[in-house]
Structure 1
């Protein structure tokens, strides 16, 4: 007789999409509804993973991230989130916005203009899911607070608490956005192109920081990335989208090949093992 066992933490998905579809609303003046951006997407994200979402511009990567965060509601299927460790995921529709924010933190590509706002005041907003608007207001002119200070220290900005946010460099702003997400104390971190607009050195530093935080803070990361070699270097799993569907899902060495380059990116190319690291590297030759 086979011995039964209770599910472990690694067995339980923290976040998952089941048959998710989405199309953006018809714009004024359009005679027909736009085509679906996503159609029947299935994805389960388990504790401790670093999942990189890949695909061409417009394939639905950022839309999928917003659906996983509960910022958009799917037209079909269900997005589920585990409300606590070792608890099976439940539909996002059954959770409040604050409950979702306690479990999922999102780092978007850019910031709106925030003139005069200090780094500490910006990062302190990450405490709203736990303290509410009154708690955030009460702290707005006081000390940053333990969680905020820890978040700033983790990203190397603890000495910049009083600097205006709009005086930071591009890389520093990206770290400030990451600190805000860390201040939420959420176990799942969703990153929309976290290395966009950064030079190569700062790209490597940012990804190394994200991976270090994932391991030391026991986070689960889902990131939209464009750079295939960078994704293969950083992620534990790659998920590639094309035509609104998942067309590849697995470890970098298992899914990166010439067929994926052609199907997902419409280019001819080769994938080779790096002579030093052994990781896959993509050599692109020409458009299909």
Structure 2
């Protein structure tokens, strides 16, 4: 299995090497990077490239590791016992399979995405050490051992919101997705907006990267936000000259709501434009 990027996903050479190294080592690939740099999309495109199933486990602050294995639905069993349902005698009817269980029993080697692992409690990664290492776990209610038929390719994403335990990091192959250069960004945009005019693209990239370089910006715009912004520019038929004109709307670019996501950043750009005029 080799990943070389896809028609819809421009992967750097270092990212390709990281994906293929993790596949060869049969270790989880831990991907970090700014929000919007394509971490989740990597798993989606990898599944497409390898023509295999993608099993997605999106982590929330309330997610527990046990949910990835299985959950025992005691409430349903109690209700069924009160109703005299015959299936109450087989406890396996009340075992709800988690995402890891689904990945373990897949006939073809699947992609398992554990998305935004740093959202969960600090103990969450440690609680999955054994299962990700051995690719098996024990179901106490039914006294059965679930073992992976085919070891899944595990992609784990993190937005770097909190530190992950050393014991967990030791078991992963790590890669940080650097923010795209203007040249790489032009290639990415070509995939999503192949018909964009080159003068508009050049001016949009200039505005975008200048915005990211502003000191004091609370939230820098991401790749996905640039793609959305260009989609709006094309829909509204806004040309490169309009983008270049900094006298409009207090120095703000057209449709700035696609790039600036809070009032502090909007105010900062307006103040800088005002000072530049003076």
State the TM-score, normalized to the length of structure 1: 0.37
Greater C-alpha radius of gyration: 2
Structure with higher strand content? 1
State the TM-score, normalized to the length of structure 2: 0.38
